[in-house]
Structure 1
Amino acid sequence: MKSKYVILASALLISVATFAQKDQIKGAEKALKSGDAQGAITILKDAENLIVNAKDVEQAQYYSVQGNAYLELATKKVEESKNLSLAAESYKKLIEIEKTSGKQKYSTQAAASITQIKGLLINSAIADTQANKNSEGAKKLYDAYLLDKKDTINLYYAASTAVNAQDFDAALPMYEELKKLNYSGKGTSYTAVNKASGNDDGFNTASERDLAVKLGTHEKPKTEAIPSKRGEIYKNLALILVQKGRIEDAKKAVADARKTNPDDTSLILTEANLYLETKDFDTYKKLVGEALQKDPNNADLVFNLGVISANANNKEDAEKYYLKAIEINPNYTNAYLNLAALKLEAEKPIIDEMNKLGTSDKDTKRYEVLKKQREGVFKGVIPYLKKANELDPKNEDVSKTLLGVYKALEMTAEAKALKATMN
């Protein structure tokens, strides 16, 4: 008989607890409706230990109110990043509970709120990067990816932003995940100009864009190919691994990528850059040559061959490759700059010899010969410096170098004209 009373007492305790948590959820809902999101969260925390044993419908309601409260705080910019993450966590628990129970009451609203949170995280991340707060931006982009793992571009942007923040410890696992997913990012962009705003709007498909143009809301439709991002991904992954002293891991990562994607030319250059970083110039040159066979009109590849030839003190080959890069792309600014720098190297031994000369007749005659040689060097670089200045007029190093050449050659009118553009 005594045991029956114990069972009855236990049942009463459970019943009291159930009513208490129901009242707390209702109290939290009331606080939230009155605009007191923080008060709602405080009330719910008191029911946190009891909710585990509650019915599915009550658990779902609990996490719905909790998610709404955290989201309300985030939209009011109260610890925005933290509260967005907490809101998303609550909504995901809600969806899982209703999925298991088979009874969906709050899931549709929760899914819509998660989409809203994803958008808020991305917009906040963009604002962070514009304010040079790249670490914060990278974390928000990664959180956006975790909310919707099908949208892998957010993982790519999170990794790139972490690199911009020099936070390589955060970037490495992101790049490793991109590698595991074999992410490319290759695709097609469909855009048209919005007549009302004047901005380029993106569309999921060409038919969607064409319909907008037909309806008259948009104009100037454009279709562009989005190149593969694998080369950049594996380049950054390899460079981070090299920085951490994991050179063999870096080489293996790129080699694996090439096996998986044999037709992706960007990966050959990525592997070549890795060998350049590790100063294996012979392998670098071999790989760039291999890339050139696949893509002979790639100005970047040819230019890079020029760089490596210059580093190896092979000036003849360096000049040949720079000129070839210009032939492929007449507006390749860096090729003009490197050509000028390559030719200006001939000035140093001339100056060194001039400084050693005395005042004898023999030395004076030699000085005049060297002076003419120096003038020849300067005249030879003018076309390249002028073209580089024309292509990149804001580059102070180019304009200052060209001004120095004009002054050395006593080209007063040209120097005066150039100086006027620099002020």
Structure 2
Amino acid sequence: MNGKFIMLTSTLLLSFATFAQKKELKAAEKALKGGDAKETLNLLKAADAVMSAATDEEKAQYLFLEGNAYLDLVDKKIDADANMTLAANAYKKLIEAEKVSGKLKYSAQAATSVDKIKNLLINSAVAATKENNNIDGAKKLYEAYMLDKKDTINLYYAASTYVNAKDYDKAMELYSELKRLNYSGKMTQYLAVSKINDQENNFATAAERDKAVKLGTHEKPRTEEIPSKRGEIYKNMALILVEKGQIAEAKQAVADAVKANPDDISLKLTEANLYLQTKDFEKYKQIINDVLAKNPNDYALIYNLGVIAANNNNNEEAEKYYKKTIELKPDYLNAYINLAVLKLQNEKVLIEEMNKLGTSDKDMKRYDVLKKKREDLFISVLPYLKKAYELDPENEDVAKTLSVVYSALEMTAEKNAIKAKMKK
């Protein structure tokens, strides 16, 4: 008799728990529909005690409501950063739970919300870095990666942002993960401008892009090759090791990368740059000559050699490489810009000396000499700036610099023409 009584009582308790679960979930759902996310979370918290006996579907509903409540608070800008994380955690638990149970009622909607949170994190990270809050930006980019590990580029940007924040240990941790994944980032983008909002859209394939242009929704199609980022990744890993005084380890890390990816030119350039920075000039020249022997007419490679030389203040060599780039590819915009920048660096020295001069006859003669040197400098820069402006008239920096040069050379009509176009 007693055993039957106990069994009956347990059944009643179970029925009560099931009733309580449904009641609390229904109340939470009603509160959320009414726009009261905080009340929703309070009701869900009250249901915690009875959720252990809930069905798989009820547990999924609980997590779905929890995620939606936190996301609603994010939309209302209430403690957005913390609630984004809480919402994402709820959705991830939900997706995992439904995957185990095999009942995929909420997973599709949850995945859409996770994607929304990922984009919010990326936008928030961009805003943080614009305000020089690189640590916050890096953390958010890493969180975006953790939400969607297939989108590896967020891990790459997180690592780069940690470098900017000078948190080299964390950057090295993320770069090591990219190395383990053998991340490249090399891709082809198929772009066209939307006629609706003038925004450039990226299409999955050239065929999709061309179809949109043919339909008349897009215009100005172009294809852009995104180069491998392995060189930059290993370069930064090497630089971090150099910063820590681990020179041998830095050289070994890059050598291993080159061995694993022998056709990746960016890695060979990274290796060359490392030997240049550590003043091993013979090894540097050996690697550069090796690369050039295999790719004598690769304008992008030769341009990168110019960048390496310029970064190491070897301006004469940089100029040689930039001019060779232009010889091979006359419409290579960045080569013209970098040549102009390279030459204009010399103006600072002239200006500083001119400003220190007095009014004596000797100083005035020296002033005239320096003034002539400055004019000659501007004359030598002018062809590169004019060509850069011709190639990209929308580039504000080029237009402004060209305007300054015209002004210094008293080319008033040309300067006014540039300014008139800039106002438009």
- Common topology (TM > 0.5): yes
The alpha carbon displacement at 1:245 in A equals 3.9
Displacement after TM superposition at 1:257 (Å) = 1.9
Structure 2 counterpart of 1:292: 292
Q: CA RMSD in A?
A: 4.2
Question: What secondary structure, in the 3-state scheme, does the structure 2 residue paired with 1:188 have?
Answer: strand
**Within-5 A mapping of 1:32-111:** 32-111=32-111
Corresponding residue to 1:325 among 322, 325, 345 = 322
Gaps of 5+ in 1: 311-317, 346-363, 365-369, 404-413
Letter in 2 for 1:71: L
The alpha-carbon deviation at position 72 of structure 1 amounts to: 0.9
**Is the 8 Å Cα contact of residues 344 and 381 (structure 1) preserved in structure 2?**
no
CA distance in 1, matches of 2:98, 2:348: 73
Q: 1:278-334 CA deviation, whole Å, 9 max, x = no partner?
A: 343332332233233333341331464577695xxxxxxx74663353243385455
Distance in 2 separating the partners of 1:103 and 1:382: 71
Distance (whole Å) between structure 2 residues aligned to residue 58 and residue 115 of structure 1:
24
8 A Cα contact 1:195 1:217, kept in partner: yes
After TM superposition, give the deviation of residue 341 of structure 1 in Å.
7.1
User: Structure 1 170/198 Cα, relative in aligned 2: closer, same or farther at 3 Å?
Assistant: same
User: How far apart in 2 are the matches of 1:100 and 1:320?
Assistant: 62
Q: Does the CA contact (< 8 Å) of 2:128 and 2:136 recur in 1? A: yes
Specify the alignment match of 1:367 in structure 2. Answer: none
Q: In structure 1, what is the Cα distance between the partners aligned to 2:240 and 2:141?
A: 20
Partner of 2:134: 134
Contact in 2 for aligned 1:344/1:378 (Cα 8 Å) = no
1:113-160 C-alpha deviation (Å, 9 max, x unpaired): 222222332333333334443333322222222222222222222223
Who is 2:207 aligned against?
207
Alignment-derived partner of residue 25 in structure 1: 25
Aligned match of 2:391: none
TM normalised by structure 1 equals 0.76
CA drift at 1:379: 9.1
The one of 282, 301, 304 aligned to 2:305: 301
Q: Distance in 1 between matches of 2:310 and 2:70?
A: 57
TM-aligned CA deviation for residue 179 of structure 1 = 1.2
Task: Kindly provide the amino acid, as one letter, of the partner of residue 328 in structure 1.
Answer: T
Q: 1:268 to 1:45 in 2, by over 3 A?
A: same
1:220 is paired with a residue whose SS is strand
Cα drift, residue 3 of structure 1: 4.8
Q: CA deviation at 1:200?
A: 1.7
Aligned to 1:233: 233
SS in 2 for 1:253: helix
Identity across aligned pairs (percent)? 51
TM-score, normalising length from structure 2? 0.76
Q: 1:153 corresponds to which residue? A: 153
Q: Structure 1 residues 282 and 393, CA, compared in 2 at 3 Å: closer, same or farther?
A: farther
Residues 31-68 of structure 1 show CA distances to partners (whole Å, capped at 9, x for unaligned) of 11111101111221233344234221111111111111
Going from structure 1 to structure 2, the CA distance change for 1:395 and 1:377 (only over 3 Å counts) comes to closer
Secondary structure of 1:47's counterpart equals: helix
Alignment of 1:344-423 (within 5 A): 384=380
SS in 2 for 1:202: strand
The residue type paired with residue 326 of structure 1 is K
Within 1, Cα distance between the matches of 2:312 and 2:126?
37
* Structure with the greater alpha carbon radius of gyration: 1
Give the C-alpha shift of residue 210 in structure 1. Answer: 1.4
Q: Tell me which moved more, 160-169 or 2-11.
A: 2-11
| Displacement of 1:267 | 0.6
Which residue does 2:177 correspond to in 1? Answer: 177
Cα distance, 1:109 vs structure 2: 1.9
Shift of 1:263: 0.8
SS of the equivalent of 2:48 reads coil
> Aligned ranges for residues 110-125 of structure 1 at < 5 Å?
110-125=110-125
